[in-house]
Structure 1
Amino acid sequence: MHRRPGTTAFARPQSPAAKCLHLIRLRRARTRPELIEATGLSQPTITRAVTALINAGLIRARADLAVSEGPGRPTTPLEPADFPAVFVGAAVGTSSTYLGLYDAEGRRLRDLDLKIKVSEHEDSDFLEHLVAGINRLTAGVDAPLGALGVTTSGRVTERGIVDAPNLGWHGVDFAGRLRYHFDVPVTVSAAVPAILGSETQSANLPAAGDEPPRTLALFADDSISAAVTHATGVTQLSSLPAPAPGPGLPTTAEERLSTQGFLETVAAAGLGTMSLEDAVSRAEHSRELRALLDERARLLGDMCAALIARHHPDTLVLAGSALTADPRAPRTFAKTVRGRVGNDVELRMIPGHREIVVAIARAVALDKLLRDPVEVADGVTAAA
């Protein structure tokens, strides 16, 4: 499916209707004059966008709250309407997949967890489990499905083709398969762009002509990936700096710094086979394990320092068990980054796995609606 420029996953609102919906949904602007001021768009453009959103059922005018401020027409507040559709977001994890059901304002209506170890299933089998989970989540809901989204590890093309080696997926067309099953707009994204997408969906629009703040995100867990925001949206980085070489050690960030890669390094050092949680616990009494954990945190810090020097972000957002499972890792990581690039970049960590999956499932569920609100609303109407 062809996408217009600027409409890739988690793009900032581009169309007048998308900008108006964004501001009204976040209560950053409630009247037409406020929308004109916030967007820099002309009065006729805002009028057309607001009319389209009202006709689509996404917003409503509150004539009962109109305020007269001198000659001319009263100022009528606008607010989100009770749009008659629901949206599903799925965050696929190595051993558990989170599903959330949302209304058009992003309020969570239901959720459930599918306890499935993905790598033990063929991709087609996992898809059947996912479809069954979505059907279970929406069962009995008196509203059509407006759109759905899925996040996963690895890399995802703009067409929704997934390569996630840690899940055993190579060239999997998840977007196409889900459209076949549900016949609604589908967004498939890697997890790390969705982390930034969640933030841009709740952030104010930059003023006309202003460059929005740039944010870099690192996801360090069962896979390693990074993404950066830019003027029009979010881009996953195609390559990551290689960690410092060592004799007999893997040379890529994914092979060496992912949880699987780290645990393979632990086993190769003769320290046994264990989980990351076991390694952190045993490191209290093992200098060798403590040294390996510290080295992982330092190497992640070195990698992020190189990315900061390349992309010049204002903020670095960190997520994943590499930094949350080990209480000492954040301090070691931050000391490494500060030693390389100074204190100009704000460091912010998402504290736990649950917070990540909830945020990215919501972001990917609403992605298509927030980019193309009138198109999604028209699709819901046509299917009714």
Structure 2
Amino acid sequence: MHHIRLGQQLIRNELVEATGLSQPTVTRAVTALMQAGLVQERPDLTLSSGPGRPNIPLELAPSPWIHAGVAIGTKSSYIALFDTKGRTLRETILEKSAADLDPDTFIEHLMAGVNRLTTGIELPLVGIGVATSGKVTNAGVVTASNLGWDGVDIAGRLNYQFSVPATVASAIPAIAASELQAAPLPHPDQPTPVTLTFYADDSVGAAYSDDLGVQVLGPLETTGGSDLDTLGMSPEAALSTQGFLSRVSDQGIFAESLGELVKIAATNDKARKLLDDRATLLAHAAAAAAQQRKPATLVLAGSAFSEDQKGRSVFAAQLKKEYDAEIELRLIPTHRENTRAAARAVALDRLLNEPLSLVPKTS
């Protein structure tokens, strides 16, 4: 499914070569995907290769269903519908603050937003995915301090409302998963290059993808002392957007958002110094994470990188000092791209892991 989804047209022999699976196994898998309406043959593009069965190309079929994806933010949330290729069919921003509403009320607004997007679309909804800050249990129960949530069973609510499977994940591994979903699978004889995703926004953390999928790194390395007065605090507490702005306010500089602080820093050297301190400490945490996993690529995501260009340069310079191995740096440049990537990843997670499990049951 992954190979066909990312490719144009492939023949079965190419799938045998790409996956390392036997011809009968590939044939059975392709037949099952065709019966599910996910894959189709293109006899009009058949390639003649001499005697024997002709090579009929395969491609992704027109999407038989839709997937909903949500990325929950502190002040607003992103909702979108995706087809099986991952193309955005419809999207909207829910201008409701999860932090200012009680969880039940917010989830009601969220479900109403999904319902509005699906109105008029004839294809069935077969799954919904949610990416959020904080910690998420395997059952989809969320605890997130920036949202004021403690043990909120959002997966249960969504499953009950829409009668489809609900996938809930932390935003950081969701963004890492989006990188994995968009990349061609290596040949079975070759290891999957490790990609490390480092996120700094409403929360701070890192996740990586390898042969086993996506894994979340444990607590980031404790920060040292600086003008930010973060000694003894975890990076998650001190360097998230709200934690950072709180440290900055202790220094007598007040800003409602990171973007506002960056504007202040254009004419305020102290504010600029604090932003650079944060970038330096983030680079220290990222370098320690890179030392653990030795990634080929480091993906930077979150407002700490997208909204503070000077801080991004400070981060890159400090990272080079602390981690001298060759590594490709890649930036997800905007908040919208971050949220769309996370929402798409959780929306399509079941499709790419267990595509046949989503086939609607007939009565």
In the other structure, the counterpart of 2:290 is: 308
Kindly provide the CA deviation profile for residues 106-129 of structure 1, in whole angstroms up to 9, marking residues without a partner as x: 221111110011111111111111
In the other structure, the counterpart of 1:168 is: 148
Kindly provide the CA deviation profile for residues 12-51 of structure 1, in whole angstroms up to 9, marking residues without a partner as x: xxxxxxxxx1111111661111111111111110111011
TM-score by length of 1: 0.90
CA 1:250 to 1:118, structure 2 compared with 1: closer, same or farther past 3 Å?
farther
CA 1:67 to 1:28, structure 2 compared with 1: closer, same or farther past 3 Å?
closer
- Report 1 or 2 for greater relative contact order, CA contacts < 8 Å, sequence distance ≥ 6: 1
Contact 1:301 1:334 in 2 (8 A): yes
Contact 1:249 1:256 in 2 (8 A): no
In the other structure, the counterpart of 2:53 is: 73
1:149 is aligned to 2:119: no
State the AA in 1 paired with 2:109. Answer: H
In the other structure, the counterpart of 1:47 is: 27
Contact 1:29 1:38 in 2 (8 A): no
Match of 1:351, SS? coil
CA distance in 2, matches of 1:64, 1:23: 21
In the other structure, the counterpart of 1:110 is: 90
TM-aligned CA deviation for residue 343 of structure 1: 4.7
CA distance in 1, matches of 2:130, 2:62: 24
Match of 1:166, SS? coil
The alignment yields a C-alpha RMSD, in angstroms, of 1.6
State the AA in 1 paired with 2:126. Answer: G
TM-aligned CA deviation for residue 64 of structure 1: 2.7
In the other structure, the counterpart of 1:368 is: 350
In the other structure, the counterpart of 1:206 is: 186
Kindly provide the CA deviation profile for residues 190-228 of structure 1, in whole angstroms up to 9, marking residues without a partner as x: 111111211111211121132100011111012112111
In the other structure, the counterpart of 2:106 is: 126
User: Quick one: which of 319, 337, 345 aligns to 1:355?
Assistant: 337
Q: How does 1:1-384 map to 2 (within 5 A)?
A: 21-27=1-7, 30-245=10-225, 251-377=233-359, 380-382=360-362
CA distance in 1, matches of 2:66, 2:298: 32
State the AA in 1 paired with 2:22. Answer: S
CA distance in 2, matches of 1:213, 1:67: 33
CA distance in 2, matches of 1:212, 1:192: 20
* Range with greater deviation from structure 2 (345-354 or 294-303): 345-354
Match of 2:309, SS? coil
CA distance in 2, matches of 1:155, 1:230: 22
Match of 2:142, SS? strand
* Range with greater deviation from structure 2 (126-135 or 168-177): 168-177
Specify every segment of 5 or more residues in structure 2 that has no aligned partner in the other structure, as ranges. none
TM-aligned CA deviation for residue 274 of structure 1: 3.8
Match of 1:119, SS? coil
TM-aligned CA deviation for residue 284 of structure 1: 2.0
Match of 2:99, SS? helix
CA distance in 1, matches of 2:306, 2:335: 8
* Range with greater deviation from structure 2 (242-251 or 220-229): 242-251
CA distance in 1, matches of 2:255, 2:28: 63
Specify every segment of 5 or more residues in structure 1 that has no aligned partner in the other structure, as ranges. 1-20
Q: Spell out structure 1 runs of 4+ moving beyond 6 A.
A: none
CA distance in 1, matches of 2:110, 2:283: 36
* Range with greater deviation from structure 2 (101-110 or 43-52): 101-110
Contact 2:223 2:231 in 1 (8 A): no
CA distance in 1, matches of 2:8, 2:61: 16
State the AA in 2 paired with 1:103. Answer: D
Kindly provide the CA deviation profile for residues 84-142 of structure 1, in whole angstroms up to 9, marking residues without a partner as x: 21111111111111111112222211111100111111111111111111111101111
State the AA in 2 paired with 1:220. Answer: A
CA distance in 1, matches of 2:213, 2:19: 17
CA distance in 2, matches of 1:43, 1:258: 50
CA 1:355 to 1:248, structure 2 compared with 1: closer, same or farther past 3 Å?
closer
CA 1:211 to 1:28, structure 2 compared with 1: closer, same or farther past 3 Å?
farther
TM-score by length of 2: 0.95
Match of 2:146, SS? helix
CA distance in 1, matches of 2:8, 2:121: 30
